[in-house]
Amino acid sequence: MILVNKDTKILVQGATGKMGASHTKRMLAYGSKLVAGVTPGKGGDTVHGLPVFDTVNEAVEKTGATCSVIFVPPYLALDAGCEAIDAGLDLVVLITEGIPPQDTAKLVAQAKAKGVKLVGPNCPGVITPSETLIGILPGVIFKSGPVGMISRSGTLTYEIALVLSDAGHGQSTCVGVGGDPIKGMGYPELLRAFNDDPATEVIVLIGEIGGTAEEEAAAFIKEHVKKPVVAYIAGQTAPPGKRMGHAGAIISGGKGTAETKMKALTDAGASVATTPNEVVEMVSKARAQLARK
């Protein structure tokens, strides 16, 4: 597993809002170790039994939280993220979508300067199955096992995790990096983490058209990753020049097509699936080969 486990102490920024309160309840039901909520002006309240604080600093001092998950409107996300980073948290998971790119750029720079891991924005979160769920992922479809997952697409994460789980291929940790063109942790950092993780045997990388993130991942895989990688690229039939779902999922100038990404990953030694079900077949084959070694 990477990033989070059953001992990760989590605070929820925006816990008293509709979205924050709803997912606080779901995360608690999963067994995540939520220790506090944070909403300025609501200090002293409770949400689903959690104490609410006015500031992240106070919440960290009182509870020892090491991770924040953020459910705030886009115009508040930069301030909320910077507050979490300045409080010295290890990990910040930013669920909010629709954040102005310039705000995200400032936040990513701040996180890097302070050595804080940032996942998101516009992401479903992180889950280490049977241990902790941070974000909006549907915990019931994930099962504990040796497959690490990294994805730009939330819904494809769910679809592929479900078919993997049904086939007996549980997951070590699943990380939704988000679909925005500017984001925190990307493929290289997470590929390195999974490659170094003794609980992960096979890495599944779920990408989509637009940008060059998958080509960069391919270069990193070729040079640094020793474990089997199975990749799937969404948008294989997307017409050029059309944005498909995410802000980052647009082909421009002939770059960022499914074909170029699939070729780069194949050339790097990854197994590249053309359908989600084929991901399962390739993971089965990779695990069988590992078992024979």
Question: Interior CA angle at 50 toward 44 and 52, to 5°?
Answer: 30
With a CB cutoff of 8 Å and minimum separation 6, the contacts of 239 are none
How far is Cα 53 from Cα 38, in angstroms, rounded to an integer?
A: 5
How far is Cα 104 from Cα 279, in angstroms, rounded to an integer?
A: 32
Q: How far is CA 153 from CA 93, 174, 274, in A?
A: 15, 12, 16
Which member of 23, 48, 169, 246 is catalytic? 246
Cβ neighbours of 226 (radius 10 Å): 9
**Whether residue 246 lies in the annotated active site:** yes
Q: How far is CA 278 from CA 145, 214, 232, 271, 272, in A?
A: 19, 19, 9, 10, 9
Whole-angstrom distance between the N-terminal and C-terminal Cα of the chain? 22
8 A C-beta contact, residue 251 and residue 209: yes
Torsion from C-alpha of 117, 120, 126, 132, nearest 10 degrees: 70
Q: Which residues are known to be catalytic?
A: 246
